[in-house]
């Protein structure tokens, strides 16, 4: 489709050096081709141009002091990609590989993942090129406080509700929420992924893995098939993989690394 092709060509120019993001937009738009070819509506209302460009991207300098007393500088991101269906929602990733392109790629996919829940939530993503590995607890705390000292003005319960992601677990969410509360004075629903003893949800860690299995069960049922007749393959070593395996065991399957296969869909941590 020339419409999609032209839009993506312009995107490469206006958002240079973001290969993961181009790949994500191409894949999603390719999937949508049957829909886009069906009607001129999408072209006439510039839907594609609008959906591939984030509504708002905030990038910020994070200055913090390490245990040796030296000022360290990192780069923080929050991409508020699309709020057509609800407040922005999507995780924060703290990892040295984080760039503008990875955050945009993840934020773009988050729009569609969130829409599939049927809940009124939009898509966003954020993070920093900070490496939590080898940092002390106090360094993590100081970094999180510095990060939130900027982020707090851009988020809110009806505006943007970040979650955790790689490098951002209950400890980091705790430091982030503590700083948000200190600065705004509000104890409110502005972050998900909180620890169980101060407001977190039960079963959060298991949710994505269990959900993947339930989803596979239902999808197969729709075709008149059963999961128990299948050989399952689980890839990955994080929470999603672990709890997928746990649930498969519970259902009486034998998810040995060689045998388990939940293809053809891929699972990623929310």
Q: Please say which residue, 55 or 246, places its beta carbon nearer to its own copies.
A: 55
| Smallest distance, its own copies to C-beta of residue 210, A | 25
| Set 13, 70, 104, 125: catalytic member | 125
34 by DSSP, 3-state: which? helix
125 an active-site residue? Answer: yes
CA distances from 75 to 58, 127, 202, 234 (A): 11, 9, 33, 34
Helices and strands counted in the chain (H then E)? 10, 5
C-alpha–C-alpha distance, residues 270 and 122, integer Å = 14
Q: Which residues bind its own copies (CB under 8 A)?
A: 14, 16-17, 44-46, 49-50, 53-61, 63, 65, 67, 69-73, 75, 83-87, 99-100, 120, 122, 129, 136, 138, 141-142, 149-150, 153, 156, 158-159, 181-183, 185-188, 198-199
Q: Please say which residue, 26 or 188, places its beta carbon nearer to its own copies.
A: 188
266 by DSSP, 3-state: which? coil
| Smallest distance, its own copies to C-beta of residue 188, A | 4
Which tokens sit at 76?
A: 């923080």
Cβ burial 104-140 (10 Å sphere, 16+ → b, else e): bbbbbbbbeebbeeeeebbbbbbbbbbebeebeeebb
Q: Please say which residue, 26 or 150, places its beta carbon nearer to its own copies.
A: 150
| Smallest distance, its own copies to C-beta of residue 25, A | 14
| Smallest distance, its own copies to C-beta of residue 56, A | 5
* Strand 123-128 to 71-82 pairing: antiparallel
Q: Please say which residue, 83 or 244, places its beta carbon nearer to its own copies.
A: 83
- The residues carrying an active-site annotation are 125
């Amino acid at each position: 489709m020339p419409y999609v092709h032209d839009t993506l060509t312009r995107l490469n120019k206006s958002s240079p050096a973001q290969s993961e993001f181009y790949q994500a937009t191409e894949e999603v738009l390719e999937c949508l081709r049957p829909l886009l070819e069906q009607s001129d509506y999408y072209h006439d209302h510039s839907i594609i141009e609008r959906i591939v460009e984030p509504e708002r991207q905030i990038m910020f300098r994070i200055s913090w002091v390490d245990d040796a007393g030296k000022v360290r500088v990192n780069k923080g991101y929050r991409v508020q990609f699309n709020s057509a269906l609800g407040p922005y929602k999507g995780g924060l990733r703290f990892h040295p590989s984080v760039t503008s392109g990875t955050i945009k790629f993840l934020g773009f996919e988050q729009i569609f993942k969130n829409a599939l829940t049927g809940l009124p939530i939009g898509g966003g993503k954020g993070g920093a090129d900070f490496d939590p590995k080898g940092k002390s607890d106090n360094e993590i705390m100081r970094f999180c406080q510095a990060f939130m000292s900027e982020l707090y003005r851009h988020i809110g319960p009806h505006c943007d509700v970040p979650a955790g992601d790689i490098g951002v677990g209950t400890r980091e969410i705790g430091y982030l929420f503590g700083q948000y509360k200190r600065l705004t004075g509000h104890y409110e629903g502005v972050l998900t992924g909180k620890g169980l003893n101060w407001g977190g949800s039960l079963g959060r860690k298991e949710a994505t893995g269990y959900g993947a299995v339930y989803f596979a069960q239902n999808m197969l049922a729709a075709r008149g098939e059963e999961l128990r007749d299948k050989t399952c393959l689980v890839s990955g070593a994080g929470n999603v993989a672990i709890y997928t395996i746990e649930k498969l065991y519970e259902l009486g399957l034998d998810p040995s690394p060689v045998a388990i296969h939940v293809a053809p869909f891929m699972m990623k941590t929310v």
